[in-house]
Amino acid sequence: MGDKSACIRTTLIVLNVIFWIIGALFLCAGLTFRFEYYRMIRAYPISDEMYIPVFCLMAMGAYLMIITFCGCCGAASSNKCMLTTFAVINSLMLLVQLVVGILLLVFAGQINIWIKWIFERQLRQRTSLERFDEQYKSFLIFWQEHLTCCGLNSKDDWKDPLGSEARATCLCVFNDPAIRNRECVPHDDNGNQVYVYKPCVDEFSAFVGKYMFVIGGILVVICILEILAIVGACFLLRRWREEEGYVM
């Protein structure tokens, strides 16, 4: 029985160390986005909602670092108070994650609407890249090139999507008509019909949706590991109480 307790204690310590490292990475990533790119973010009137993922990342990192410290120290030093705190708070967080997961599934269709609303706020009364500063222009051009899209809400966001102001990132050239019809939209350029990529808001929504499955998979793995950690902590607490009762 003692070997089993020692094995569970070692496993619990290892899990907490791994989670502490993950929490440190989350916190560092959040701080990097918050401060390293602060000047770029301030270059245009970004919606406050865009900060939500960054703050969530920072909060998640800080939480993991604190709670895993309690779990690791509690398991290593047989501190019942710290291990109980670890088990209780982790159980509450597991319930919160379950509720958040259900809400994401229920309101998944609203994500595209939310993204489009944010972009519309940024583009209001702006139809030329020249009306943005260089940092914001670089930001928009990067996403147009990376996602192969044109404009944020439509190709009409830019007065001249194929001109120098868009740096020709909108031009969509496909020999296969089926691919062209799927990826491009027609645009009249000086009387000639050419094709430009679809709006960036659609491509960005698809980009976010693709990685939502990745994030969801990571969260599922984290939840499973949290359950194992909670079960291990409860087993150790029960074992310690039995040992104390036996000694008395």
Domain-wise residue ranges, the chain: 2-110+219-247, 127-201
3: pLDDT confidence band, cut at 50, 70 and 90? Answer: low
| Residue owning tokens 């120098």 | 164
Average pLDDT over residues 133-146: 72
pLDDT digits (tens, 9 = 90+) for 220-241: 788 888 888 888 888 888 888 8
DSSP-derived 3-state class of residue 149: coil
Instruction: Name beta bridge partners: 187.
Output: 194
Percent of the chain whose pLDDT exceeds 70:
73
Q: Identify the residue whose tokens are 């296969």.
A: 176
- In whole angstroms, what is the distance from residue 174 CA to residue 120 CA? 29
65 closest CA partner among 77, 73, 75: 73
Contact (CB, 8 A) for 63 and 71: no
Q: What is the pLDDT of residues 157-180, one digit of tens each?
A: 777 777 665 566 788 888 788 888
Average pLDDT value over all residues in the chain: 76
Check if the beta carbon of residue 233 is closer than 8 Å to that of residue 86. Answer: yes
Name the pLDDT band for 119 (thresholds 50, 70, 90): low
From CA 143, how far away is CA 211, in angstroms rounded?
16
Quote the pLDDT of residue 174: 82
